[in-house]
A = this chain, B = another copy of it.
């Protein structure tokens, strides 16, 4: 894991926080170059598809003019949901570095199954809980603020 890229993912998450979106950020890198970065925009775009990871994949595909994001890695501040995990796998992203495991065990087992290799597609290497405290603190502060509204 590269601290600089995880730090940028957190800066994206903090931007989401300011805009009253669940604070999650994602960064895609290739050969130590930043390809794209994004924050969760589900509420402002009125669409379940505007998760940080999906926006980052969309931008990266546009930039590379290719749906195959070969040799790309993704940094994210919370484990992806199954939608994003499957998009990551289908985009051929190689490594996923996540700051915090999603405590929902069903989700956890689904995303591990999605990331496994199959006959047509190499697996995704997935590491999680790499910056637990920072991610937990950001999410807890956000949900506390929402409850007090």
Interface, chain A (partner B; CB < 8 A) = 42-43, 45-49, 54, 57-58, 61-62, 64-67, 81-87, 90-91, 104, 106, 110, 113-114, 118
**A48, A64, A67, A113 pick with most chain B CB within 10 angstroms:** A48
Q: Which of B65, B67, B82 contacts A85 (CB 8 A)?
A: B82
**Residue of A45, A57, A67 with most partner-chain B CB within 10 A:** A67
Residues of B within 8 A of A67 (CB): 42-43, 45-48
Min CB–CB distance A20 → chain B (angstroms):
14
- Give the chain B neighbours of A61 by CB distance below 8 A: 45-49
CA distance A85 to B64 in the complex (A): 26
Q: Could you list some 5 contacts between A and B, CB below 8 A?
A: A42-B67, A47-B62, A49-B54, A83-B84, A86-B86
A118 partner residues in chain B, CB cutoff 8 A? 104, 106
Q: Report how far A85 CA is from B61 CA in the complex, Å.
A: 21
Closest to A80 in B: B86
Give the chain B neighbours of A110 by CB distance below 8 A.
82, 110, 113-114
Question: Bound state CA distance, A49 and B67, in angstroms?
Answer: 8
CB distance from A143 to the nearest CB of B (A): 13
Given A46-B62, A106-B118, 10 extra CB contacts under 8 A: A47-B57, A47-B58, A48-B67, A48-B87, A48-B91, A49-B49, A81-B86, A82-B85, A82-B86, A110-B110
